[in-house]
Structure 1
Amino acid sequence: MTMNTMELDGYTAVIRYNPETDEFRGEIQGLNGGADFYGRTPDELRREFRASLDFFLETCAKHGISPKKQASGKFVVRLSPTLHAQAVTAAQAAGISLNALVERAVHHELEAG
Structure 2
Amino acid sequence: MSDNLEHNGYFGSVEYSSRDGLLHGKVTGISDLVTYEGGSVKELKEAFEESVDDYLDTCKELGKEPDRFYRGVFNIRTSSEIHRELSIMAERKKMKLNELVNKAFNFLVKNEDKVLK
| TM-score for the superposition, normalised by structure 1 | 0.82
Q: State the match for 2:6 in structure 1.
A: 7
Q: State the match for 2:18 in structure 1.
A: 19
Secondary structure, aligned partner of 1:59? helix
Q: State the match for 1:70 in structure 2.
A: 69
Q: State the match for 1:57 in structure 2.
A: 56
Q: Distance in 2 between matches of 1:67 and 1:31?
A: 7
In the comparison of the two structures, how many residue pairs are matched?
112
Q: 5+ unaligned residues in a row in structure 1: which ranges? A: none
TM-superposed CA distance for 1:54, in Å, is 1.6
Secondary structure, aligned partner of 1:67? coil
Contact 1:32–1:66, Cα closer than 8 Å, also in 2: no
- The sequence identity of aligned pairs, in percent, is 26
Output the amino acid matched with 2:101.
V
Q: Distance in 1 between matches of 2:85 and 2:18?
A: 41
Secondary structure, aligned partner of 2:102? helix
Secondary structure, aligned partner of 1:13? strand
Q: 5+ unaligned residues in a row in structure 2: which ranges? A: none
TM-superposed CA distance for 1:80, in Å, is 2.5
Cα displacement string for residues 45-100 of structure 1 (whole angstroms, at most 9, x for unaligned residues): 11101111122112111111011112111112222222211221233334433223
TM-superposed CA distance for 1:107, in Å, is 3.7
Q: State the match for 1:36 in structure 2.
A: 35
Determine whether 1:87 maps to 2:86. yes
| TM-score for the superposition, normalised by structure 2 | 0.80
CA, structure 1 residues 78+46, in 2 after alignment: closer, same or farther (shift >3 Å)? same
Output the amino acid matched with 2:25.
G
Q: Distance in 2 between matches of 1:97 and 1:35?
A: 39
Give the superposed CA RMSD.
1.9
